[in-house]
Amino acid sequence: MATSGKIREPKQERSIETKKKIINAGYEVFSSVGYYGTNTAEIAKAAGVSTGIVYGYFKDKRDILLCVLDIYIDNVTKPLYSLMADFTLPIGIEDLAPAVVDEVIKIHETNSRIHNTLHSLAATDDGVNARFSELEHKMTTKLSAKLNHLGIDKPDMFERVHLAMNIVQSFAHEYVFDKHQYIDYPKMRDIVCNSIIKLFV
């Protein structure tokens, strides 16, 4: 169900808090049962407000989802950007790579419930896919600039950083979600770190 009424942008503190409460409820509900496993009424109930109140701030369930996605992106990027900001000269890629790998694993563990819900929608929802594409673009440019500042500069830097991001992301998925019994994860971590190091030496 979607509303055709006017969506208001809250200005008073109470209204702002109500909207935040609805978004946070959406975050928890989507984390628990997925996007298609719930509806606006259940999100309203979790937020402790009426369905009508929800439709005063959001057009539909997807509108809430996009706000949840913004929170998720903030949650997964802040720790990584903070880690990168702490890196100062002298530091080499040999020290940087394992620290980044471990931080990305931690981020995936912390956000594991909502992660699958949001990423599963990227293939079918243009808005979700666009936000993830924008995230990749920002991370690639930020990380490239930071590496350059640390004296790590190679030809085709964007391509190398993007490939490194994909390698780390794939390993984090494997480590947190797949958990194959035949995989020695400490050894795989070493392989991942060495692969990244080779990209930048």
Q: What is the pLDDT of residues 33-82, one digit of tens each?
A: 999 999 999 999 999 999 999 999 999 999 999 999 999 999 999 999 99
Residue of 43, 15, 14 lying closest to 27 (CA atoms): 43
Q: Number of H helices and number of E strands within the chain? A: 9, 0
Q: Is the pLDDT of residue 5 over 70?
A: no
Domain ranges of the chain: 13-59, 68-200
Instruction: Please report, as a single letter, which amino acid is at residue 44.
Output: A
CATH of domain 68-200: 1.10.357.10
Please report the DSSP string for 70-94 in residue order: HHHHHHHHHHHHHHHHH--SS--HH
Question: In degrees to the nearest 10, what's the CA dihedral of 37, 42, 47, 49?
Answer: 160
User: In Å, how far are 26, 80, 99, 155 from 114, measured between CA atoms?
Assistant: 10, 18, 24, 36
Whole-number pLDDT of residue 17: 94
Task: Please give the model's pTM, rounded to 2 decimal places.
Answer: 0.88
Q: Is the pLDDT of residue 1 over 60?
A: no
Fold of 13-59: Arc Repressor Mutant, subunit A (1.10.10)
